[in-house]
Structure 1
Amino acid sequence: MRDILETLKSEHDTLRDLFAKINATTDRAEKTRAELLDRIEAHLIPHAKWEELVFYPAFAARASHDQLLQHAEAIQEHRAVELAVLPDLHASPPTSRQFAGSVKVLSEFIEHHAKEEEKEMFASARRLFTAEERADLDRQYEDWKASSAAEAIEAQARIKTAAKAMLRAPKAPG
Structure 2
Amino acid sequence: MARDILATLKNEHDALRGLFADLKATTDRGVKTRTDLLERIEAALIPHAKWEEQVFYPAFKERADRDGLQTHAEALAEHHAVEQTIIPEVHAADPGTPEFAGRTKVFGELIDHHAKEEEKTMFKMARQLFTAEERAQLDEEYEAWKQSDTAATLVAAEKAKAGIKGVVKAVRH
What's the TM-score, normalizing by structure 1? Answer: 0.97
Q: Hey, what does 2:50 align to over in structure 1?
A: 49
Q: Hey, what does 2:71 align to over in structure 1?
A: 70
State percent identity of aligned pairs. 58
Offset of 1:159 from its aligned partner?
1.0
**CA–CA separation in structure 2 for the residues paired with 1:4 and 1:155:** 24
Q: CA offsets, 1:116-154, max 9 Å, x none?
A: 000000000000000000000000000000000000110
Gaps of 5+ in 2: none
**CA–CA separation in structure 1 for the residues paired with 2:82 and 2:74:** 13
Q: Hey, what does 1:108 align to over in structure 2?
A: 109
**CA–CA separation in structure 2 for the residues paired with 1:90 and 1:32:** 15
Structure 2: which amino acid aligns with 1:70?
Answer: T
Offset of 1:170 from its aligned partner?
3.9
**CA–CA separation in structure 1 for the residues paired with 2:153 and 2:120:** 31
Structure 1: which amino acid aligns with 2:27?
Answer: T
**CA–CA separation in structure 1 for the residues paired with 2:34 and 2:167:** 19
- Secondary structure at the aligned position of 1:127 is classed as helix
**CA–CA separation in structure 2 for the residues paired with 1:66 and 1:95:** 43
What is the total number of aligned residue pairs between the two structures? 172
Distance 1:121 1:64, change over 3 A: same
**CA–CA separation in structure 2 for the residues paired with 1:108 and 1:170:** 26
Structure 2: which amino acid aligns with 1:106?
Answer: F
Deviation >4 Å, runs of 4+? none
- Secondary structure at the aligned position of 1:94 is classed as coil
What's the TM-score, normalizing by structure 2? Answer: 0.98
**CA–CA separation in structure 2 for the residues paired with 1:171 and 1:147:** 37
Alignment partner of 1:11 is 2:24: no
Q: CA offsets, 1:1-60, max 9 Å, x none?
A: 100000000000000000000000000000000000000000000000000000000000
Offset of 1:171 from its aligned partner?
6.4
Structure 2: which amino acid aligns with 1:81?
Answer: V
**CA–CA separation in structure 1 for the residues paired with 2:18 and 2:172:** 34
Q: Describe how 1:1-174 pairs up with structure 2 within 5 A.
A: 1-170=2-171
- Secondary structure at the aligned position of 2:67 is classed as helix
**CA–CA separation in structure 1 for the residues paired with 2:94 and 2:166:** 11
Gaps of 5+ in 1: none
**CA–CA separation in structure 1 for the residues paired with 2:56 and 2:23:** 29
Q: CA offsets, 1:54-81, max 9 Å, x none?
A: 0000000000011100000000000000
